[in-house]
Structure 1
């Protein structure tokens, strides 16, 4: 009898591995668009046919794309601005440069669901020490509505101050809506959604799920950071609501970051993105002057919102990055905490350097996710070989995300240069045309470079053999990092 049972389970496992492998390979050949990722998964499935098909189901299939499409259809068609017929009034450039800027502007207009808005003002906020008090002050002064979305929102430390102010706003009669990514709620205990609900705040998790469903969608997250007060003042960028951002308080794991206070017509685009995600979570439509008041010019920045996610907006941000790199003629500056660009963006960066464009990349020397830093170092040689300059910043960990082009274009928001952000996450960014904003952000990067170490080919070649072997092994997993 024991022989029969053993034989039965052996045959069953063999059959399951064969069926699972064939099914996974068929899906790969028919549906997978990234050839490097497809090659990785094909090798994994062929070499280990028992568990690899299950891993492919959990990590390799973009299940949320179909869910995202369903959520779009559930809240009607997503908002789309008409593409303007007239060129943008760029007065700070002329000749060939103006033509390149106009072409990039038109490209972004067609890539994004939104159009360029004029008369915006962006203020740079350093770390949580500047950003969090300004956000709390805005919440404290809210009269009609507050929209808040965050990937990570801790219930303790600075997060507790947000809970208190949001609760006070509700008691004043302000309409408050808060959305936190389900995965992001697990970074701290107790979950902030419980504290907010007890405080009377209307709050929802983005894509809440349990057990196996959480495992399947754990790589697919709402990574957007949005706060809109009274439909007129917005805060966005890459900063989460957590104590680690309060650098002056000397937390155990300090995080440097930049965030942005935004006023002007593009605030409506930021609000629109929140409203669509909120409708997905609750079926409640946020419309009317309470959420979308008339907005007038407050500054001189031209800005366009770029929405990216694993739905119909999929791979919009990589396309925008590629268009910007293709348009660059003088300089490219990138600050990102995670530098694992896909093959297309790697080729675009190399071509920039070959054309004579000055390419400078800044990423942390000690990454908070070590394997990402190890894998990133395997990409450096092909960029260094064509003249790109790569710097690694000293601790503490720098979470800043900015991308600067040719003295006038600035991209800022929640997107990292890695597979997770570029393909899996829901992200939001602003592309801004403003020479003065560029100069301010360029100065921020230069200040960081002053405390960073430049990486050379010689340094990489002289690294200990075991370190290079480790990095080379980790590189195999870039498609799923």
Structure 2
């Protein structure tokens, strides 16, 4: 047998490469919804069938098949379920408060997301890491029944140690605690915090594989980028804030990075819990349906402000949900679009929507950091700036330390905040969670934050962009070609 294999190994290798390449190419052609993605992968596979097929297996298959708890309220019965339903926003309430065009946004959200637009929520912005961490740790210390924490990065540093101690103490008090950390994000610090938590009795797991033993194929390129903390089913924290001391001025001084996190109460907390619980079930097969995880009806009066919807997106049946919501919002804008994003790499559809809005007279302002923690991403996104600057959009480079916030405000009425960056990874590969907010006071406060950033920012001009050396611009374009995987 060995002699036969030795004599015919070229034929065996050729047959294996044809079979592997054909299988991968057929899968890409049949499953990819974007023609550019399908053509790109088929081209790579044809040029190198075995290596191309292996790359496609690792990075190209982006649909996770899993059971999703689409709405925690579906598990409720009788009067409690009816009570939760009374908080759902109606078309008339949205039209009376914000205009008929935002009824169209409600309809879009109803059709593309798994969660309802709910009334009577309270959302408070936490502008710095120190403020956010203080509020989160206080909520953990006050937990009585349950804590679920899902995050992308949980460093084993001085801030991470504070969270670890608080979670361990909660377990000692008899609180049910579950912690889910992304498999990639768990290894941003070595050793990871996983062992520290487990030694303290905290039930913890990683999302989508263990990077020590090797990532779970074929989903190695897919991560949870969500940041959700739910306490006793009543209070939630979400936004862009990872757990690491680089965002704390206490430890990093004046050069600490900035981010914006949010404390939320009201009926939307049930949906944030549902998202985190579904991810926990995917990672561990455990259903969080015991009494400790039960939902109490909100205490606020139905029908009042603030209107909030939880928007979950990711490479399962929620693929590109955030992209669809953003496209809808850009299409209804009449006066202003304000965006803050650390990694601004929108696809062609979003660029077209932005420049179309600008051409019809909408003021479009995009704020990105001057100082970026990902240099390659910064170079790649700079390569796209000319497409917007030529079409009446304004781009600003914010001064000061790196700002990791993800904020969008439309016409002073509609806001979108959370974990999603405007880049291919967030829009197609990562699991993300955002909040759609309809409330004039909240969105006007977002706009004041954006105005403050613009007041000390430097405007990017097309003339200055094109005056840079050709070699610099060429390198940026080359990096831009690889932007879907940066």
Structure 2 length normalisation: TM-score? 0.89
Q: CA–CA distance in 1 between the matches of 2:157 and 2:310? A: 31
Instruction: After superposition, give the CA deviation of every residue in 1:357-395 in whole Å (9 maximum; x if it has no partner).
Output: 111111223322222111112221111111011112234
Q: How much has 1:26 moved relative to structure 2?
A: 2.5
Q: How much has 1:257 moved relative to structure 2?
A: 0.3
Equivalent pairs counted in the alignment come to 469
Q: CA–CA distance in 2 between the matches of 1:88 and 1:302? A: 13
The aligned residue for residue 133 of structure 1 is: 134
Corresponding position: 1:323 with 2:328: yes
* 23 and 354 in structure 1: CA distance in 2 versus 1, 3 angstrom threshold: same
Q: How much has 1:432 moved relative to structure 2?
A: 0.5
The aligned residue for residue 78 of structure 2 is: none
Q: How much has 1:20 moved relative to structure 2?
A: 3.6
Q: How much has 1:15 moved relative to structure 2?
A: 4.6
* Contact 2:89-2:307 at 8 Å conserved across structures: no
The aligned residue for residue 204 of structure 2 is: 203
The aligned residue for residue 34 of structure 1 is: 34
* 12 and 247 in structure 1: CA distance in 2 versus 1, 3 angstrom threshold: farther
Answer with 360-369 or 178-187: which moved more: 360-369
* 400 and 76 in structure 1: CA distance in 2 versus 1, 3 angstrom threshold: closer
Q: How much has 1:21 moved relative to structure 2?
A: 3.4
Q: Where does structure 2 lack aligned partners over 5 or more consecutive residues? A: 75-83
Q: How much has 1:139 moved relative to structure 2?
A: 0.9
The aligned residue for residue 226 of structure 1 is: 228
Answer with 78-87 or 140-149: which moved more: 78-87
Q: Of 332, 338, 341, which aligns to 1:336?
A: 341
* 262 and 56 in structure 1: CA distance in 2 versus 1, 3 angstrom threshold: same
After TM superposition, the structure 1 = structure 2 runs for residues 400-411 of structure 1, keeping only pairs within 5 Å, are 400-411=405-416
Q: Secondary structure of the equivalent of 2:99?
A: helix
Q: Where does structure 1 lack aligned partners over 5 or more consecutive residues? A: none
Structure 1 length normalisation: TM-score? 0.90
Q: Of 236, 239, 242, which aligns to 1:237?
A: 239
Q: CA–CA distance in 1 between the matches of 2:338 and 2:177? A: 38
Q: CA–CA distance in 2 between the matches of 1:393 and 1:8? A: 63
After TM superposition, the structure 1 = structure 2 runs for residues 19-58 of structure 1, keeping only pairs within 5 Å, are 19-49=19-49, 51-58=51-58
* Contact 1:151-1:222 at 8 Å conserved across structures: yes
The aligned residue for residue 363 of structure 1 is: 368
Q: Of 329, 350, 365, which aligns to 1:345?
A: 350
* 135 and 24 in structure 1: CA distance in 2 versus 1, 3 angstrom threshold: same
* Contact 1:152-1:180 at 8 Å conserved across structures: yes
Q: How much has 1:152 moved relative to structure 2?
A: 0.6
Q: CA–CA distance in 2 between the matches of 1:200 and 1:252? A: 36
Q: How much has 1:46 moved relative to structure 2?
A: 4.3
* 213 and 163 in structure 1: CA distance in 2 versus 1, 3 angstrom threshold: closer
Answer with 431-440 or 352-361: which moved more: 352-361
Q: Secondary structure of the equivalent of 2:93?
A: coil
Q: How much has 1:88 moved relative to structure 2?
A: 4.5
